[in-house]
Structure 1
Amino acid sequence: MNRVVTSAALAATLAVGAMLFGCNKSSASTDPGAGASDPVAALKVPEITYSTAQADLDKGKELFQAKGCNGCHKIGGGKLVGPDLKGVTARRDKQWIAKMILRPDVMVKEDPTAKDLFKTYLTAMPNQGVPEGDLPALMSYLKANE
C-alpha cells in the first residue's frame, strides 16, 4: 500500500514539475486588447502562409524544441501536459493558432475554445515570447506533421 501512495505522490510531483518547468518561462507582454469589447478579435497577428521548404521546417522543429513546446505537447502519440498537436492545423484556423502561440494569456481568458482546453488540461500555456517572424516556420512544422 505504501508503494502505491509513494508512486502516486511521485506521479503528482512529476506532473507539477512538468507544468512549472517543462515549458520555458518568459514574461507576458501587456494586453493589447485591454478595454476592447472583444479582446481576442483585437489581437492582431500576421497572415501566415505555410511553407514546405525544408529549411523552414527545420527552423520550425528547432523552435518547437527551443521554446519548450515539446515539454508540454506531443505531435502524435497523445496528450502530455497539454493537447497532442497532431492535426491541429486541420482542427483550428491559422489565425487562432497564431493568437494562441503569441498571446495564450489573452486566449485562455477570452476565447471559448482556449477556455475549454484549459478546463480539460488544467494548465495554461505560458507566453513563450515567440517573435511574429518565427510564426510561419513554427506553424509550417506543425502543418507538416499532421
Structure 2
Amino acid sequence: MKKHSLILWLLAALLWNCSGAEKRAETAETDDSVLQKQDEVHGVEVKKVELSNPLDQAMVKTGQEVYDMKCSSCHKLTEERLVGPGWSGITKKRSPEWITNMITNVEMMLETDPEAQKLLEECLVRMPNQNVEPAQARGLIEFMRKNDGEK
C-alpha cells in the first residue's frame, strides 16, 4: 500500500510541476549588483555569490515563490527527506556557490561533484532541471538562509 501511495504522490507531483508552466515561467527582476554576468547563462559554473546582510526581503519573497512552485513537491524545509533532501541547515553545510550550481546546473553537478553524486545515491532520484533563472536561484539562497534562522 505504501508503494502505491508513493507512486500516486510522485505522479501527482509530476503533473503539478508540468501544469501551469506559463505562469511559473514568469521570472523575478534581475539585480545585476548581486549577480555576476557569468551567472546569467545556464550551464556556466557559478564561482561567486555575494550574500546580503541583512537578508534582502524582496529576494526572500522571490525565493519563497520559487520554492512553492518548483521545489516544495520534493524538498521540505525541515531535515526530513521527501523525494530530495530536506533544506534545514543547508546554508550551514554548503556554500552559496554550491547551492546555486546545484539549482541552476544540476547536470554538471551530478556529473562532476562528489557531494552531489552522494546525494543522488542517497535519494535515488535525479534532481530535474527546473530551469530556475539566476535571480530566482539567488532568491532561493536568501529564502534558505531565512529558513536557517539568519536575519
State if a TM-score over 0.5 links the two structures. yes
Describe the shift of the 1:64–1:142 C-alpha distance in structure 2 as closer, same or farther (beyond 3 A).
Answer: same
Describe the shift of the 1:121–1:61 C-alpha distance in structure 2 as closer, same or farther (beyond 3 A).
Answer: same
Percent same amino acid at aligned positions? 28
Measure the CA separation in 1 of the matches of 2:56 and 2:46.
Answer: 26
- 2:68 corresponds in structure 1 to 65
TM-score of the pair, normalised by structure 1: 0.73
Measure the CA separation in 1 of the matches of 2:139 and 2:145.
Answer: 10
Measure the CA separation in 1 of the matches of 2:123 and 2:12.
Answer: 13
In structure 2, the gaps of 5 or more residues are 22-41
Contact 2:46 2:100 in 1 (8 A): no
Counting only pairs closer than 5 Å after superposition, residues 19-58 of structure 1 correspond to structure 2 as 20-21=14-15, 23=17, 32=43, 43-45=45-47, 47-50=49-52, 52-58=55-61
Counterpart pick for 1:10 among 1, 4, 15: 4
Deviation at 1:108, TM superposition (A): 1.2
Q: Which runs of 4+ in 1 moved over 6 A?
A: none
**Which protein is bigger by CA-based radius of gyration?**
1
Counting only pairs closer than 5 Å after superposition, residues 82-97 of structure 1 correspond to structure 2 as 82-97=84-99
Describe the shift of the 1:65–1:45 C-alpha distance in structure 2 as closer, same or farther (beyond 3 A).
Answer: farther
TM-score of the pair, normalised by structure 2: 0.71
Deviation at 1:99, TM superposition (A): 0.4
Count of aligned positions? 127
Deviations 1:90-138 (A, max 9, x none): 0001111010000111111221000000000011111111111222211
In structure 1, the gaps of 5 or more residues are 1-6, 33-41
Contact 2:83 2:123 in 1 (8 A): yes
| Residue 141 in structure 1 maps to residue 135 in structure 2 | no
Root-mean-square deviation (CA, aligned residues, Å) is: 2.7
